[in-house]
Chains A and B, each alone.
Chain A
Amino acid sequence: MTLEASVPALRADRLGKQYGHVWGLRDCSFEVPAGSVVGLVGPNGAGKTTLLALTVGLLAPTEGQVAVFGEPSRAQTEGTLARVSYLAQDHPLYRNFTVGDMLRFGRSMNPRWDHALALGRMEALGIPLARKIKALSGGQQAQVALTLALAKRTPLLALDEPVASLDPVARLEFMQDVMAEVADKGLTVIIASHVIAELERLCDWLLVLTGGRLQLSGPLDGLLAGHAVLTVPRQTQDADLPGAVLSRTDSDRHSTVLVAADQAHVAAAWQPGWLSEPAGFEQLVLAYLRRPPVAAPAGRSMVGEGTAR
């Protein structure tokens, strides 16, 4: 699935949000191509929900802006609300409504609404329209919430920790449906999660947030290719290593280092006794999560900055 549109699905320019005296998000700039599945990773309180709320139009930024397919998101305006579908954490629904009521709610509140899609999904999932929401299982409720988001037929879908409260089977079924929709309709999806492991096979773009600041933004393949894990003699200085050092573990005689360097740079700097391995996804994300927030450069993609310091 090549990226046909040249307009980025999501673009943030020095985006920031202040709550009282605390900055929930600060100096956030990045660009995500259309058709991507973006993993938005960070610990709880890092600003993931804030970023999504700013994108969807539930919040207005304190500084900077975020644009969806070229149009800046303005809080509380129809244009912004109509462009993004939002599935909030814990998939809130009206518990006393029936499933049919919930679908009707979606139809009443959204002029562009695909009722056939919504009904089709309910039938395919075996969820009866007459049943009350509170009588559904957690997985079924998540599926109803997903249906509401999908039937809105927006080009961008924002999911906030969508599977955090689901059992493994429900989790799989949920993501199966999301991926099938991405494949079918070329959706752009942004998934906020603090569980890293499952994102690797879902995402092709990565955003790492800690303490309200963006640590990393880039395509998954490129990021993995642009980092390496080197096993080097203990006395090797950071300056001798190709690329920026993201994490270093020292043993008695050797050190293991994660560097931001691609194969070419590693080969160029290679010395006898060095062992090079590709960086694993979790390893990479954890290293960036552990970096202190202030140290992050306010930049876009981190890939390509792997030259020696």
Chain B
Amino acid sequence: MIWVTWRQHRTQAVVCLALFCAVAIAAVALGAWMRSTFSSDGLGACLARSGGADCTSVIDAFTQKFNGPVIPLGVILFALPGFLGAAVGAPLLGSELERGTWQLAWSQTVPRTRWLVTQLALVVGGLVVFGAAVTAVVTWARGPLDEVSMRAQTPLNFEGLYLTCSLLCAFALGVLAGLLLRNTIGGMVVAYIAWEAPSLVATLLSGPLHILTVTKTIACTNGCARASASSIPPVTGNLGDQVLSLTRTGNHLIVTYEPASRFWTLQLIDAGLFLAVAAAALGTAIWLLHRRTT
């Protein structure tokens, strides 16, 4: 069964490898460029010295320079899991049902439920490896930028768990769509559209909805007059924090912000959402397939 699963997904594995190589090349190029600028601008030394307090203009220049080039990578990596997951998931059952090869596959000595579970386990494993590899290489590339920017925001969908879980969610929806529609292309399309739902929710949760804000009161040390919501480094003292609003009361600042540490909390929330959808989709697919004989 292992060989059979491999052979049936061989082309897809090669495509994934090619995709990874493409992303890796782009990421390594970007990362190397960033790192050379990082050291040539003296940013590293500055941060070590003052924790960012003295480096405002340098940080500003750095982020301006690299926020642009990162965007295309971000867009691709946002849509990629949806396309790829649906493209790998839909043919698994969709192609068998469409072409009638299910009569061949499920009349051998392996019962169809075991056939499906084995295929799913192996392909999911492969997708996890792919997701982890892409995440790793992109995270490495973005290293310097993450140090200085508002970590709470943009990197959410291509660092940590997000990309892999998003991929698995799309895959699972693809499998279910392929089963229900008995069609590969149709399954891919429907799965991608369906994947947009949890994807949108995840984006809203981690972005515009600002669900994990913290409000803190800070005593001003040297003149609150110059403090603003967009100062770099942020008034909270941490480079990664994102300040949403700021009120002055006497000698204190009341700051509403999203701490950098919320990154992993949000990752877990998003991962949980995607994986819950994925588990429900795969569970439904397995149950429906089992029921088809009765």
Contact = CB atoms under 8 A, between A and B. Distances in A.
Interface residues on B, range: 20 to 34
B113 A58 contact: no
A13 interface: no
Interface stretch (B103-111, B130-138, B195-203, B241-249): B103-111
B40 interface: no
Contacts of B112: 76
A187 B111 CA distance: 24
A291 interface: no
Contacts of A60: 293-294
A12 to B, nearest CB: 18
A142 interface: no
Interface string A130-161: 00000000000000010010001000000000
A281 interface: no
Contact of B111 (A59, A81, A86, A106): A81
A110 interface: yes
A109 interface: yes
B109 A76 contact: no
A97 B111 contact: no
A57 B112 CA distance: 10
Max chain A CB contacts within 10 Å: which of B7, B108, B113?
B108
A260 to B, nearest CB: 37
A40 B188 CA distance: 40
B293 A105 contact: no
Given A92-B100, A108-B1, A56 B293 contact: no
B103 A111 contact: no
A109 B100 contact: no
A114 interface: no
Contacts of B107: 56-58, 81, 84-86, 88
B252 interface: no
Interface of B: 1-4, 7-8, 11, 99-101, 103-113, 290, 293-294
Interface of A: 56-60, 75-78, 81-82, 84-86, 88-90, 92-97, 101, 104-106, 108-112, 145, 148, 152
12 contacts: A58-B107, A76-B113, A76-B290, A76-B293, A86-B103, A86-B107, A88-B104, A88-B107, A92-B100, A93-B104, A109-B105, A109-B109
Given A109-B110, A110-B108, 13 more contacts: A56-B107, A58-B106, A58-B107, A76-B112, A76-B293, A92-B100, A93-B101, A101-B7, A108-B1, A109-B108, A110-B109, A111-B109, A152-B108
